[in-house]
């Protein structure tokens, strides 16, 4: 599978392209790419998840929000903001309070405000 390629650029392109195509096979490819050792690939996954809209698996977004790489977390915040799921609110609030990267704390503060407007029981993703 190309998402497991040793060339991170090829793997990242494959992951992002899969997010544009969508479907169950794309989600499976994104799951594989999300475990890639290179953060460039995980960044492509975190950004690409927003392309899946309602089909984006909540667990993949949460994994990206918890990634050790600041770039992955940054793109995951953007995706969480775009998807607007109550499931992300607690983790985003934690990033806003305690992430080591100041720019992520600022971005998370904005995203947390957007997510706080969701009513309790707002439908969550898959």
Note down pLDDT in tens along the chain; length 126 residues: 666 668 999 999 999 999 999 999 999 999 999 999 999 999 999 999 999 999 999 999 999 999 999 999 999 999 999 999 999 999 999 999 999 999 999 999 999 999 988 755 455 555
For the chain, the structural domain boundaries read 2-116
Count of alpha carbons within 13 Å of 40, Cβ hemisphere only? 12
Please give the Cα distance from 30 to 95 (Å, whole number). 23
* CATH pick for 2-116 out of 3.30.830.10, 1.25.10.10, 1.10.645.10, 1.10.1530.10: 1.25.10.10
State pTM to two decimals: 0.89
Please give the Cα distance from 68 to 94 (Å, whole number). 14
Collapsing DSSP states into helix, strand and coil, what is residue 101?
Answer: coil
């Amino acid at each position: 599978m190309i998402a497991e390629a040793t060339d991170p650029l090829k793997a990242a392109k494959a992951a992002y392209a899969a997010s544009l195509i969508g479907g169950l096979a794309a989600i499976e490819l994104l799951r594989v790419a999300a475990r890639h050792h290179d953060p460039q690939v995980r960044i492509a996954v975190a950004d690409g998840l927003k392309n899946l809209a309602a089909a984006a698996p909540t667990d993949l977004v949460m994994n990206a929000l918890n990634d050790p790489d600041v770039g992955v977390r940054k793109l995951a915040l953007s995706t969480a903001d775009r998807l607007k799921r109550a499931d992300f609110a607690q983790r985003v609030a934690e990033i806003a309070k305690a992430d080591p990267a100041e720019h992520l704390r600022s971005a998370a503060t904005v995203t947390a405000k957007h997510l706080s407007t969701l009513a309790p029981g707002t439908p969550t993703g898959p």
